[in-house]
Amino acid sequence: MLLDSALALLSFALFANATATLWWMLHAWRTPETLAATRFRAPDGETGLSFSLLVPARHEDAVLAFTLERLLESSYDAYEIVVVVGHDDPATTAVARQVEAASNRVTVVVDSHDVKNKPKALNTGLAYCRGDVVGVFDAEDQVHPALLAHVDHAFRSTAADVVQGGVQLINFHSNWYALRNCLEYFFWFRSRLHLQARHGFIPLGGNTVFVRTDRLREVGGWDENCLAEDCDLGARLSTRGAKVVVAYDSTLVTREETPGSLYALFKQRTRWNQGFMQVYRKRDWRRLPTASQRALARYTLASPFLQAFSGVATVIGLVIALSVRAPVGVALLTFLPIVPALATVAFEIVGLQDFGKQYGLGIKWSHYAKLVAGTPFYMAMLTAAATRAVWREYTGRNDWELTQHVGAHLEPASSKVRATA
């Protein structure tokens, strides 16, 4: 009897978690008005803010020049670019210096920390920022020339403290997991972050995020000991009542590439998950003013625990259901979490179609087949990454596992993909 009750309770818990994830994933598509509100408003032709664009770059000599060239193509006038390179990275430094010599908008700053990571590089560069707003870009980013004009208008028209722009992995055709990884970003930046901002707690994205310089310095910049410095910054700004505006527009998103291997993606997700747990343990979120905001923060930051638990609990539940003779009603309940799981896959199929339409990409039947067939394997990878993150946090390991970039999103269009501007 006790085992039956535990099995039923476990099934309900997994069902509730999967349903909540699905509901948040679809937030932007609830009504046409909600979807329209997720986009940038058209600029009014006026300008008012100056920008300092921080670009931390470590072992990124293969992609950095292209990123800086794209930033220098901006149609906006009042901006500077601050590139942060490591003192022990001569190849990347040489690329940055070459661009600096050709443009008076570019300043190269050297990070001399013995142990390096992204937040340390960002804080090093922050000291040199002179603009009203600090924007962050990664070294492999493909940035639209009109983005700054739209961000400026968003700040002025909404009195925002923070503007989070869209980021989109684009090389969906590279392999089976890249397809799912691209779709994750599509739902996260297209929908989930809008819900988070609306309810007053948001884990900011790692790039294409813009913060008023005075607010950023007021909170002390980035936490140099956090593996998810973007999430931590969003948490601290949320507790101080910062107004965050999120905008996603397929013509203006910053385009990026997926990690080059499944193992690299696994390590990246481990780092992000562990970073969320670090932010949870800091408990800054407890200073949020309302109970609903604190509940949202707790749920968001505890997602690595929930993901690890859900994966392990699913396996245990299946073993028990198949090996123990349970009442028919209890046995049927064990299949309850499958309902939102199947619904999620169905909506992902529709999302893939919309993704292809938004970006003018040639989505084929083989891509839909890969999406469906790869679902259990991708979920297993995410569960394993969350479990590893929990273990690393428990054992006190917090070294930064760097994700390498090769410019897969910059390759010429193949027969599978139609080139877009």
pLDDT in tens, 217-243: 999 999 999 999 999 999 999 999 999
What is the Cα–Cα distance from 173 to 389, expressed in whole angstroms?
Answer: 28
Paired residues of 106 in beta bridges: 81
Q: Which residue has the tokens 């100056």?
A: 50
The percent of residues above 70 in pLDDT, for the chain, comes to 91
pLDDT, position 45? 85
Q: In which domain, by residue range, is 72 found?
A: 1-421
Tell me the pLDDT tens digit for each residue of 265-297. Answer: 999 999 999 999 999 999 999 999 999 999 999
- Can you tell me the distance from the alpha carbon of 215 to that of 152, in angstroms, rounded to the nearest whole number? 16
Give the residue-averaged pLDDT of 76-102. 97
Q: What is the pLDDT, as a whole number, of residue 405?
A: 57
Burial grade of 374 (CB within 10 A; 0-12, 13-18, 19 or more): middle
User: What is the pLDDT at residue 414?
Assistant: 34
What's phi and psi for 12, nearest 5 deg? -65, -40
- 1 or 394, greater pLDDT: 394
* pLDDT higher than threshold 70 for residue 419: no
Measuring CA to CA, which residue among 196, 212, 213, 215 is closest to residue 204? 196
Q: Of all residues in the chain, what percent carry a pLDDT higher than 90?
A: 77
Eight-state DSSP code of residue 160: -
Higher pLDDT, 306 or 82: 82
- 290 Rama sector, left if φ>0, alpha if ψ -120 to 50, beta otherwise: beta
At 415 the pLDDT is 33
Which pLDDT tens digit goes with each residue over 30-74? 888 899 989 999 998 888 899 999 999 999 999 999 999 999 999
Number of domains in the chain: 1
165: left (phi over 0), alpha (psi -120 to 50) or beta: beta
pLDDT reported for residue 48: 87
pLDDT of residue 258: 93
> For residue 128, what are the CA distances in angstroms to 8, 82, 122, 221, 296?
57, 7, 10, 13, 35
In sequence order, which residues have a C-beta less than 8 Å from that of residue 376 and are 6 or more positions away? none
Task: Indicate the pTM of the whole model.
Answer: 0.90
- Could you give the CA distance from residue 394 to residue 386 in angstroms, rounded to a whole number? 12
Instruction: Give the Cβ contact number of residue 9 at 10 Å.
Output: 11
pLDDT of residue 118 exceeding 50: yes
Residue 323: give its domain's CATH number.
3.90.550.10
> From the DSSP assignment, how many helices (H) and strands (E) are in the chain?
16, 9
